[in-house]
Structure 1
Amino acid sequence: MSMIEELKEQRKMFQPISEEKIKQVDNAINIAKVNLDSAKSKINNVDKGIIADFDGVITTINVSEGGVGNPGQPAIILENINLKLVVSLGRYDAEKVKLNQEATIKGIDKSYKGRVSFISPAAKGSASAPSIGGINGGGDTTLNIDIDILDKSQDLKINFDADVDLLIGSANNILKIPVEAIINDKDDKNYVFINENGVAKQKEIRIGLQSDTEVQVLQGLKEGEKVILNPGNIIKSGMKIKESVEEEMLEVKNVVKSYINGEINFKALEGVSLK
């Protein structure tokens, strides 16, 4: 085979480059130039210092001078200094909470005012609880709410746990008695024992708001009547009793106190964390 024929055969082996492929290569070159310019710009900005979009506190540094950074990890983490409380509520407590509700955040030796600023539109189920069509099939579900802290303090730190009281009801000029005076039966009826001239008398009552220590009485008692605390199963209606604060009575310590007019606030939902 002559030299000319060999050259012709070699020419057949080359594929022509289409205009479309040329355009694709040009686009790739342009994109590479843009990325290079962006990288140079970032380097210049770093030389001038990094400016965050908001005020905050650096809580984590994942790089060191001269080291190699991880592309999948932020170099630093900046936390917003406007702390908020994140509360996870059960289904029954969640029904009682509304936007702009007042809250009291309890620190170690100080309390702070707060206000409910956000209520999540969807509850979260536990990892072990399967869901069908977005509806939890069982297990615990919680609803997150945010509480803005109105009183600023250096004592409150990010990711600290705290206790919070949410005011979900209040009443003035009411009759109230201590919680430990109430007996609840299997029919969900409430009773108390009163001291009527030295004799125990059982009375059914209807209750309203309730705090950790006191209960509002809507019906069944009159102001000035005296109730027996912690009556248990020993005190019976018609039994003779003696009013005492600390003495043993019928082998059980029972305290007889008057209930009074007053104000009661229903507070609940403790044990949440600051975010």
Structure 2
Amino acid sequence: MKKKTIFGILAVLVVMIAIFLIVQGNSGKSKAITVRTGEVKNETIVEKLSTTGTLIPNQTQTLMGTGNVVDVFVKTGDKVEKDKVLATYDNGLQLTAGFNGTVTQVNIKSKQADTNAQQGKPSIQLDDLSTLKVQLALSNSEASAVAVDQKAEITSGNETFSGKVAEKDPAAQSTQSATGTSASLGAVVTFDQAPEKLFAGFDVDVDITTNTVENVLALPIEALTYNDKNEPIVFEVKNGRAKETKIEIGIQSDKLIEVKSGLKEGEKVILSPSSDIKNNTEVTKE
């Protein structure tokens, strides 16, 4: 019985020693968090404003008549030349084309009274569809970034066209809707070359180049985060640990952000730092 007891005690001791060694071995393993890193480099950064606009004719003429219509000489879709008579009235009035264009609306008929003015509609509308442009409605923050002559890219489907900001209204306009009053500032983007197979009335995507800086320090935008004071920070990797570093930032693109102070070229920063990353957290690079 004594031998069995001794053997039992020895077996328990062996198990306890094994557990102790396993625990010690695990405690000796690194608790470092694996991170992805990027490098601070000299780059060219192009800042763009992305918005949506509506294709509109280069020129529009809204022709209004009054009285009884005698004759209508055009139909929707007709291309007409400047000074062509489009319709006549019994009071001697003539509706005449002010430029070469396409008739896009005809709301009158021969031998009938023209009541379109009371309904707020044109009797005939003429549009110059040879060269379209893009009408923008800018928000307050967008309006402050946009200026005349800035370069633009207009995208419709799979096609992209070059252009520029040609006009910017001096004051915003308010509009009333079911949800309240909103204000926007009008601007116009023109094409460098007349586009083909685009149609007035459709929306297009517009990217306006608002700022460009060359040969400046930049870091991947996914490295940027903010502290509890809403100050921009990054986490550098130094001696196997994360070091919280406050930085001053400038303009940004969709991938890069300018670093004005706080970092040097070649330094490594953690990309997309998780909430587990704190100052002095042990880290290891992938």
For 1:119, give the aligned amino acid: K
Give the letter for the 1:155 counterpart. K
Residue 222 of structure 1 aligns with which residue?
A: 264
Q: What letter matches 1:54 in structure 2?
A: F
Equivalence for 1:60: 105
CA shift for structure 1 position 98: 1.6
The equivalent residue for 1:115 is 164
Q: 1:45 to 1:203 in 2, by over 3 A?
A: closer
Residue aligning to 2:59 = none
CA RMSD of superposed structures (Å): 3.3
Q: TM-score, normalised by structure 1?
A: 0.62
- Aligned residues: percent identity? 32
- Aligned counterparts of 2:229 and 2:193: Cα–Cα separation in 1: 45
- Pairwise CA distance, 1:165: 1.1
Q: Retained in 2: the 8 A contact 1:193–1:203?
A: yes
In 1, Cα distance between equivalents of 2:195 and 2:170: 30
Q: Name the SS of the counterpart of 1:215 in structure 2.
A: strand
Q: Check conservation: 1:104, 1:112, Cα contact below 8 A.
A: yes
Cα pair distance change 1:83/1:218, threshold 3 Å: same
Contact conserved, 2:86 with 2:97, CA < 8 A, in 1?
Answer: no
> Is residue 169 of structure 1 aligned with residue 218 of structure 2?
no
1:184 aligns with 2:229: no
- CA apart distance, 1:58: 2.8
| Structure 1 moving runs of 4+ over 6 Å | 39-44
Where does the alignment leave 5 or more consecutive residues of structure 2 unmatched?
1-68, 74-83, 88-94
Report if aligned partners of 1:69, 1:75 keep a CA contact under 8 Å in 2: no
Looking at secondary structure, tell me which structure has more strand per residue: 2
1:125 is displaced (CA, Å) by: 2.1
1:241 corresponds in structure 2 to: 283
Comparing 76-85 and 162-171, the one that deviates more: 76-85
The answer to whether residue 121 in structure 2 is matched with residue 79 in structure 1 is: no
The 8 Å contact of residues 114 and 147 in structure 1, kept in 2 or not, is answered as yes
CA 1:140–1:45: 2 relative to 1, 3 Å = closer
How many residue pairs get matched?
198
Which structure ranks higher in relative contact order (CA pairs < 8 Å, sequence separation ≥ 6)? 2
**Cα separation, partners in 2 of 1:68 and 1:201, compared to 1, 3 Å:** same
Q: Which residue of 1 aligns with 2:251?
A: 209
| 1:127 matched residue in structure 2 | 176
Instruction: Determine the C-alpha separation between the residues in 1 that align with 2:279 and 2:165.
Output: 47
Q: Deviations over 1:200-252 (max 9, x none)?
A: 111111101112322111111111111111113111121222212xxxxxxxx
